[in-house]
Amino acid sequence: MLKKKSKYVVAVVGATGVVGRELIEILEERNFPVSELVPLASERSEGERVAFNGKNVVVRKLDKDSFKDVDIALFSAGAERSLEFAPMAVKSGAVVIDNSSAFRMDPRVPLVVPEVNAGVMAAHEGIIANPNCSTIGVVMALKPIHDAVKIRRIVVTTFQSVSGTGKKAIDELAGQTVALLNFKDAETNVYPHQIAFNCLPHIDVFLDNGYTKEEMKLVNETKKIMKDDTIGVTATAVRVPVFRCHSESVNIETEKKICANEVRAILSAAPGIIVYDDPKKNLYPLATDMAGKDDVYVGRIREDESIPNGINLWLVFDNLRKGAALNAVQIAESLIQ
Amino acid sequence: MLKKKSKYVVAVVGATGVVGRELIEILEERNFPVSELVPLASERSEGERVAFNGKNVVVRKLDKDSFKDVDIALFSAGAERSLEFAPMAVKSGAVVIDNSSAFRMDPRVPLVVPEVNAGVMAAHEGIIANPNCSTIGVVMALKPIHDAVKIRRIVVTTFQSVSGTGKKAIDELAGQTVALLNFKDAETNVYPHQIAFNCLPHIDVFLDNGYTKEEMKLVNETKKIMKDDTIGVTATAVRVPVFRCHSESVNIETEKKICANEVRAILSAAPGIIVYDDPKKNLYPLATDMAGKDDVYVGRIREDESIPNGINLWLVFDNLRKGAALNAVQIAESLIQ
């Protein structure tokens, strides 16, 4: 649907948010062929400037006319804005790559992690969805294992950084931490409870089945991306007092037996994954080490002796990059290939 | 083996540590019948004073003669010291309640959580072991479910606070946090990596099977306390930047089907457990709320739809109290009953 060009007009919706800024940085860093960058945001940020390829580009207010001549629109401004403006962008002739949850489970919308299922992109009807951050980490690590020995079930517990919530949450963690270390009360605005020195088993809203929406995203998006509804997925999503990068504890049951060394070999050969696993040297992936990195880091790979065919692993990735902006730009790259 | 008395001479080994101080506080708080408190510690702390029942008691140096006339010796000074001095205490006629890992898996030593298996205490030969903190939380919540529908397998991921490591670790988290917020480097002495704003999938030492000793404690101690080797247990133990209280994400597979409401009813009726589970009101257990509390708090109880008979839950407890000192004093209370 996208006409082949040498350079593209690229809009970034939510250009002043944490993911928006990362999107613009990554477009520049990876030399994406941009003829014009169109940074869009709410009225509040109109007139701000964002740096791109050595120029300062003025942020425009997002409205129904924003997408004239835009080839690719990268959305990262929340589900509500995507629901309202993505169809307008498509009508204007743009292909939308949407980072929100708005269209992910729509059967007409491909949900893509390029290393895992780039093939489904061809069938898009104007919108391609970028999966939830936690899901991207899981499917990156699990797809190569699934291809080798078929995964029956996974049990995931996440350790998610506050940058996934946005700038206000980063400020809240820093502000609460400073307050508490000065024996003052922690002010709580973004999260329902104090996040500094605490772990909140609550990300996104609660649903009727007792799970959070974040947990159900992991369940449903994983099955859609892996194209396999028979995989059992259950999740507990936890916000932790970490600024950047998500960590996940993943327990896997496979159809065929696989040993830890085979998992290491398979993941070492997989694109976008780095096996970082030498516990005797205290080497395992850590949130503080992976900020700004592109890959999903996997460590603590070991056999789970509580079942015949089980594996435990620990993975860490930059939630703003592979968990959001980088994956979206990689989708755009696949699109123009 | 312990002679019935109206009051007992009680020694606390490791009296100046975080658990030692908590032990002394809890003995006072619960009016344990103490005729004389004997606080013992290493040479470094000799001569310090600890407050007990309105008096300042001088800390004595731990040596082979420390246990003369001692009836009950509460050990919390690490496995090495327990291995050396607990047998001496027993020889002197004391009953040892040991908070270290030294004797926990010794088949002659009862491993006790009074609400769960007080019955096994009678067979002690001088030493009774206090389980590892993470294990206590798990068995407290799981035993009532096991009794109702038999547990087949559990998958646990822990979120453990730094107070489990001791005073130095509390100082390290505070010190690193202050340094980082002042744009200085975080100094790392206690843990192999920065703990501030980070999650370390590494507690205690790594073993040859790729698990940490902390993870294997959870596996082996759970089976011993539940008196059931057929329960599958697998664990990932993670240190988080929280000062006090451990949280745990627990996935349970049961023999018979049980629904979330039945789990709530069973746990609400169990001693030492408080069901704190009203997600629509943002109520779930949190580390910052449970410091100083005696009970194990359970929330986020929900059915795991990835298997026919599955339950997920989230539990939080004060690792220094029910996870250590309180459980030890409860053992002493059972002993003198």
Give the DSSP per-residue string, B28-76.
Answer: HHTT--EEEEEEEE-GGGTT-EEEETTEEEEPEEP-TTTTTT-SEEEE-
Instruction: Give the pLDDT confidence score for residue A1 in this predicted structure.
Output: 72
Residue A253's φ and ψ, nearest 5 degrees, are: -110, 130
Indicate which residue of B124, B146, B245, B246 is catalytic: B246
Residue A37's φ and ψ, nearest 5 degrees, are: -95, 130
* Dist CA B337 CA B329 (whole Å): 12
The confidence band for B251, taking pLDDT boundaries of 50, 70 and 90, is very high
User: Tens of pLDDT along A220-276?
Assistant: 999 999 999 999 999 999 999 999 999 999 999 999 999 999 999 999 999 999 999
Instruction: Give the pLDDT confidence score for residue A26 in this predicted structure.
Output: 98
The two tokens of residue A315 are: 């993975």
Asked whether the predicted pLDDT for residue B1 surpasses 80, the reply is: no
Indicate the SS3 state at residue B186: coil
Q: In terms of CA atoms, which chain B residue is nearest residue A315?
A: B201
- The closest of A42, A125, A113 to A77, measured between CA atoms, is A42
Low-confidence ranges of chain A (pLDDT < 50): none
User: Could you give the strand order of the β-sheet that contains B60-61, starting from the edge strand earlier in sequence?
Assistant: B60-61, B34-41, B8-13, B72-75, B95-98, B127-129
Cβ of residue B305 closer than 8 Å to a chain A Cβ: yes
The confidence band for B93, taking pLDDT boundaries of 50, 70 and 90, is very high
Instruction: Give the pLDDT confidence score for residue B43 in this predicted structure.
Output: 94
The verdict on a CB contact (< 8 Å) between A202 and B279 is yes
Instruction: Give the pLDDT confidence score for residue B128 in this predicted structure.
Output: 98
H-run or E-run covering A57? strand A55-58
Contacts of B155 in chain A (CB under 8 A): 155, 251, 306
The verdict on a CB contact (< 8 Å) between A249 and B286 is no
Instruction: Give the pLDDT confidence score for residue B226 in this predicted structure.
Output: 97
Of B155, B197, B300, the CB nearest to A243: B197
Q: How much of chain B exceeds pLDDT 70, in percent?
A: 100
Q: How far does B65 lie from chain A, in Å, by closest CA?
A: 39
What does each C-alpha distance from A193 to A172, B154, B285 come to in angstroms? 11, 28, 11
Give the DSSP per-residue string, A266-284.
Answer: HHHHSTTEEE--BGGGTB-
Q: How far does B142 lie from chain A, in Å, by closest CA?
A: 16
Q: How much of chain B exceeds pLDDT 90, in percent?
A: 99
* Dist CA A138 CA A244 (whole Å): 17
Interface of B with A in 23-82 (CB under 8 A): none
pTM as predicted: 0.97
**Average pLDDT value for chain B:** 97
Interface of B with A in 115-174 (CB under 8 A): 153-155, 157, 159, 174
Complex ipTM: 0.96
Domains and CATH numbers, chain B: 8-131+324-336 (3.40.50.720), 135-319 (3.30.360.10)
What does each C-alpha distance from A70 to A10, A99, B99, B237 come to in angstroms? 6, 17, 66, 48
What does each C-alpha distance from A244 to A170, A292, A321, B177, B197 come to in angstroms? 9, 9, 10, 15, 9
User: Tens of pLDDT along B188-230?
Assistant: 999 999 999 999 999 999 999 999 999 999 999 999 999 999 9
- Residues B289-314: b if buried by 16+ CB within 10 A, e if exposed: bbbebbbbbbbbbbbbebbebbbbbb
User: Tens of pLDDT along B252-267?
Assistant: 999 999 999 999 999 9
Q: In terms of CA atoms, which chain B residue is nearest residue A209?
A: B302
- The closest of A120, A158, A118 to A287, measured between CA atoms, is A158
Q: Is residue A199 annotated as part of the catalytic site, yes or no? A: no
Q: Is residue A245 annotated as part of the catalytic site, yes or no? A: no
* Dist CA B213 CA B220 (whole Å): 10
Q: Mutate which of A188, A216, A234 to test chain B, going by most B C-beta atoms within 10 A?
A: A234
The confidence band for B138, taking pLDDT boundaries of 50, 70 and 90, is very high
